[in-house]
Amino acid sequence: MSWNSIENNLVNLSFAILLITLIIYWFNITISHNKIFSKVGTILTIFINLFLGCSLIIRWIYNGYFPLSNLYESLIFLTWVLTFIHLIIEKQNNSKLIGAINIPICLFIIAFSSFVLPPEIKEASPLVPALRSNWLMMHVSIMMFSYGTLILGSLLSILFLIISTTNKYKFNKNNLVYDSKNNYKTYLLFNRLNLLESIDNLSYRIISLGFPMLTIGIIAGAVWANEAWGSYWSWDPKETWALITWIIFATYLHARLSKSWEGEKPAILASLGFIIVWICYLGVNFLGKGLHSYGWI
56 burial level (CB within 10 Å; 0-12, 13-18, 19+):
buried
Q: Which of these, 27, 83, 33, 268, lies nearest to 160 by C-alpha position?
A: 268
Domain span at residue 11 reads 1-126
- Residues of the chain above pLDDT 70, percent: 82
Residue 240 located in a structural domain: yes
Same domain, 51 and 121: yes
Q: What is the CATH number of the domain that holds 29?
A: 1.20.120
Structural contact between residues 110 and 79, judged by C-beta atoms closer than 8 angstroms: yes
Whole-number pLDDT of residue 176: 43
Residue type, 236: D
DSSP state of 32: I
Q: Which of these, 185, 161, 163, 160, lies nearest to 175 by C-alpha position?
A: 185
Same domain, 146 and 268: yes
Query: Domain tally for the chain?
Result: 2
**Rounded distance between C-alpha atoms, residue 264 and residue 276, angstroms:** 18
Residue type, 192: R
pLDDT tens-place string over residues 69-123: 788 888 999 999 999 999 998 887 766 788 889 999 999 999 998 888 888 777 7
Provide the Cα torsion 194, 82, 152, 165; round to 10°.
-70
* pLDDT value at 216 more than 90: yes
Listing DSSP states for 86-106 in one string gives HHHHHHHH--SHHHHHHHHHH
pLDDT tens-place string over residues 16-68: 999 999 999 888 877 767 778 888 889 999 999 999 999 999 988 888 888 88
Same domain, 100 and 191: no
Same domain, 188 and 290: yes
Residue 131 located in a structural domain: no
Whole-number pLDDT of residue 190: 43
Pick the more confident residue, 180 or 131.
131
Structural contact between residues 10 and 80, judged by C-beta atoms closer than 8 angstroms: no
